[in-house]
Amino acid sequence: MTLTEPGTSTTTWIPTWRTRTAFWWILLSALAIAVFAPLPYALTSLADLAGSDQDLAANYVDRSVVVRSAFYLHIGFGGLALLLSPFQFATRLRIRAPSVHRAVGRVVLGSIAIAGTAALVLAPHNVAGPVGTLGFGLLAVLWLTFATGAFRAIRRRDVVGHRRLVVRTFALTYAAVTLRLWLGVLIGLQSGLAGVDPDVAFDRAYLLVPFLSWVPNLLVAEWYLATRERRTASASR
C-alpha cells in the first residue's frame, strides 16, 4: 500500500521464514475471502438469498436504497482492498516495480475510502444490534483514519510513519477474514460441544465478532510494529 515517492530513502525490513509463512497465509486467506465472499451477492439477488435463509441478505433486503447500495459498495470495494493489499507488502514488488506499487496503493486506499464510508452507513443496520453498531462503527472509523493517515504520511515523504499506518490499516482490512474464522470457530464450538442449534449459535457468535474480528488483529499489528522497532534499534547500535 506504500505510495513511496522516487528518490525517497527507506529502510527495508528483511523477511524471515516466519514472515514469509505469515505472508503466504495472509495472502491466500485474503484472496479466498475477497473472491468467494462477495460472489453470492454478485450472482444472486438479495431477495433470492434472503429466501434461502441467508441471514445477512435477509437483514438488508428490505432496507432503503441507500443502505442496500452501501451494502454492495462495502462488499465490492472492501473485497478489492482485501484482494490487493497483501501484494503491497511484497518487498520485491516494492523494489522492482515501484510505479506498480504506488498505483496499486492508490487503488487500495481509494477502495478503503469507499468501503469504509459505506460501512459507517451500514453500522446502525447490522445483524448484531447496538453491539454491532458500536463495534463495526468503530472499525470503520479507525479503518478510514489509518488509511487517511497513511496517505498523508507518504505525501510528506514520511515512509516510516506511512508503513506503520499501512500495517494498522491492513490489520483492519483483514477483519473480513478473521470475522469469518471466528464465526466458524464459535459456531462449531457451540454446536459441536453443546449441541446448540446452528441458527442460535450464529446469533450468539455474531454478538462477539463486531469486536473480536478486529481488536486482536490490531493488537497483533502493534506487537509486530513494536518488535520491528526493537530489532531495528538493536541493529543500529
53: left (phi over 0), alpha (psi -120 to 50) or beta: left
Nearest to 118 by CA among 145, 79, 150, 78: 78
- pTM metric for this prediction: 0.89
Residues written for the chain = 237
How far apart are alpha carbons 184 and 181 in whole angstroms? 5
One pLDDT digit (tens) per residue for the chain, 237 residues:
544 443 344 445 556 767 778 888 999 999 999 999 999 999 999 999 998 878 889 999 999 999 999 999 999 999 999 999 999 988 888 889 999 999 999 999 999 999 999 999 999 999 999 999 999 999 999 999 999 999 999 999 999 999 999 999 999 999 999 999 999 999 999 998 889 998 899 999 999 999 999 999 999 999 999 988 887 777 666
pLDDT at 4: 41
How far apart are alpha carbons 26 and 90 in whole angstroms? 12
CB of 10 within 8 A of CB of 159?
yes
pLDDT at 232: 72
The three grid cell numbers given for residue 118, joined into one nine-digit string? 459505506
Residue-wise DSSP of 17-35: HHHHHHHHHHHHHHHHHHH
